[in-house]
Amino acid sequence: MGERITISTPDGGFSAYVARPEAETAPAVVVIQEIFGVNQVMRDITDGLAAQGYLAICPDLFWRIEPDIDITDKSKVEWDKAFALFNAFDVDLGVKDIQATITRIRADAQSNDKVGCVGFCLGGRLAFLAATRTDVDAAVGYYGVGIEGVVGEAEKLTRPLMLHIAEEDGFVPPTAQAIIKQALKDHPNVEIHSYPGRDHAFARAGGEHYHEGDARLAGGRTLQFFERTIG
């Protein structure tokens, strides 16, 4: 069972869910939410990383709009609210809040000073931007929405980045995927994995497009990546 902490910024404080490993010190991983807030799916991912030996933290990045969002993908009302939050979200401020989270967890008594991040959907784009704009040590993005629009920032990318791309992603069309792959294919710090036949959120347990086999494959690749980069 995790704990709640408050992260302070010049604009105010926001909450984050923290799950701790058994080790006295460990590398940390920031879990970057989807558009449904810090919900059970995100908390389960955070708990799962702690079980793998990481100090895991999932910050509430929607706090500037409405704090403590915790909804699912199971009803139209919740989807409508999620998209409203997505449209109101300020990406630049979100990245600053991720940096505040990185700084806070790096200073934790249980941290060994290494910090990675992993993001999903909106969080996938934020993970890419964290790799270019923050001092995170390594980043992973799952089916990031909108990366094609910020891919020019790859020139600032000096830290390891892994991207998981769903080839049938309804929110990241083939043209967008082509832009991302073309821009990053020769970058020495980028590793891209593409999943044929998979739709958006194929790794969201319980989701409409969840695929257990490829979710496990992507999850294993992510853990191996973190072991190499921050483990």
Q: Which residue has the tokens 């799950």?
A: 19
Question: Is 200 marked active-site?
Answer: yes
Mapped onto helix, strand or coil, the DSSP state of residue 41 is: helix
Q: Is it the case that residue 57 has pLDDT exceeding 80?
A: yes
C-alpha 37/C-alpha 71 separation (Å) is 7
58 alpha-carbon distance from chain centroid: 9
Give the model's pLDDT for residue 128: 98
Q: Is it the case that residue 1 has pLDDT exceeding 90?
A: no
Give the model's pLDDT for residue 160: 98
Is the Cβ–Cβ distance between 150 and 184 less than 8 Å? Answer: no
C-alpha 225/C-alpha 72 separation (Å) is 29
Condensed to tens digits (0 to 9), the pLDDT of residues 162-207 reads 999 999 999 999 999 999 999 999 999 999 999 999 999 999 999 9
CATH of region 3-229: 3.40.50.1820
Amino acid at 165: I
Question: Is 169 marked active-site?
Answer: yes
Structure tokens at 148: 């094609």
Q: What is the mean pLDDT of the chain?
A: 97
C-alpha 225/C-alpha 199 separation (Å) is 23
CA distances from 179 to 21, 160, 170, 211, 218 (A): 38, 19, 16, 25, 21
Helix axes 122-133, 91-106, angle to 10 degrees: 70
Among 97, 137, 200, 214, the one annotated catalytic: 200
Among 169, 199, 211, 214, the one annotated catalytic: 169
**Nearest alpha carbon to residue 218 among 230, 201, 208, 229:** 201
Condensed to tens digits (0 to 9), the pLDDT of residues 29-51 reads 999 999 999 999 999 999 999 99
Condensed to tens digits (0 to 9), the pLDDT of residues 93-135 reads 999 999 999 999 999 999 999 999 999 999 999 999 999 999 9
